[in-house]
Amino acid sequence: MPAVVTIVLIGALGVALALACAGGIAAWRARAQADDRVAEAVASLAAGMHETMRDLAEALETQSASQGIDRNTRELASSLELEEVTTRALEEAAGIAGVDAVLVEAAGPDGGRFTQTLGMVEDEASKTAVPVPDNDNIRALEVSYHYRIDDVENESPIVRSGIVVPMRADGLPVGSIAAFTRTAARKLTSVELDELEYLAQRAGPALENARRYADARSLADIDALTAVHNRRYFHETLSREVARAHRHHRLLSLIVFDLDDFKAVNDKVGHLSGDGVLTEVAERTLSVVRAADITCRVGGDEFAVVLPEASGEDAELLAGRIMRAIAARPIGAAGILTVSAGVAEVRPGDTPADLFERADEALFRAKAGGKARTVADGNGS
């Protein structure tokens, strides 16, 4: 019965992703006014998927007594949050006799890969990880580690051996789970391999379901035209980052910018070409921001960049780079374009609205001061 549930769920998630992608295309054609409707629809779809997952978990609970479905299977199937599912898989693997450390490597959202560990630090994991060859006939890899300065302390806390088991979902590889021992005289037994393999059989579909759910959720956060984050995601992120900055006494800054005279651009080249201008502006912005910065389109031709761990001066410098990147060369028939920007740094007691309003007011002053410039909150020039 769990296999049937997994197949049904994966099929449902595939249909959901197809519907979400179709919604994204429709939003692009309908331009900016459709973005919010797509975001709400995909968010609602994702919420429905989550609710379906919980219903399936309850069904597994009901059937467990009569069909022998264990508690850990129910727990792995009860969540669609990738981190939560991975953590449960790691904890279950760590509970196997003789296991001192665990590493999960699997497919992540947006086509990426992710690694999560228990009982080992990131540097050790990168030196210890063993990729599984693309061979459906491989049940597991048994690995022994021999060191140049090995037996000075035979029980030193370094990885001595391990077993790596591939994880699959619907017959396709999705990653691997590896269990390690730090005791030279103790290797994992065939019984423990059976336990790890059983875990991999359940964790693979659960992780794949969570990955697909994360992909569906991400569609609700992306502006369909420019492919940067949308207004809804901006306000959620700003609220989260302001709270984090206050809680940990961290720096946080915000840039709000828009194109100068964009209405004239639309009048000159038409709205369709104007959409192309916005897409190019987003691409040029992404080419200069830091990996940690969050770029969003907040409406029309207005963009915002949230800068965690950055001062107002840092934000001014980045705003300058954005302005130069956009004005560096013509954008299609629109020619050379300029932007104006407002910058604000979080203050004690700020709400997200306070920070945004100060940055927006600084943008207004940049426009009033002649455009093609950056104004920082509290700076009249």
Q: Give the 3-state secondary structure of residue 35.
A: helix
Write the single-letter amino acid at 239.
S
Write the single-letter amino acid at 281.
V
301 given a catalytic annotation: yes
Which residue's entry shows tokens 């051996």?
Answer: 161
| Tokens encoding 133 | 């060859």
- From CA 172, how far away is CA 157, in angstroms rounded? 35
What proportions of the chain, in percent to the nearest 5, are helix, strand and coil? 55, 20, 30
| Tokens encoding 119 | 């009982």
Among candidate residues 258, 331, 320, 260, the one with its CA nearest the CA of residue 289: 320
Please say whether the beta carbons of 279 and 334 come within 8 A: no
- From CA 317, how far away is CA 307, in angstroms rounded? 12
- The Cβ-side half-sphere exposure at 184, using a 13 Å CA radius, reads 11
C-alpha torsion sign, points 232, 87, 73, 200: positive
Catalytic residue among 215, 260, 301, 350: 301
Please say whether the beta carbons of 331 and 280 come within 8 A: yes
- From CA 55, how far away is CA 211, in angstroms rounded? 19
In what helix (H) or strand (E) does residue 174 lie, and over which residues does it extend?
Answer: strand 172-181
Active site residues: 301
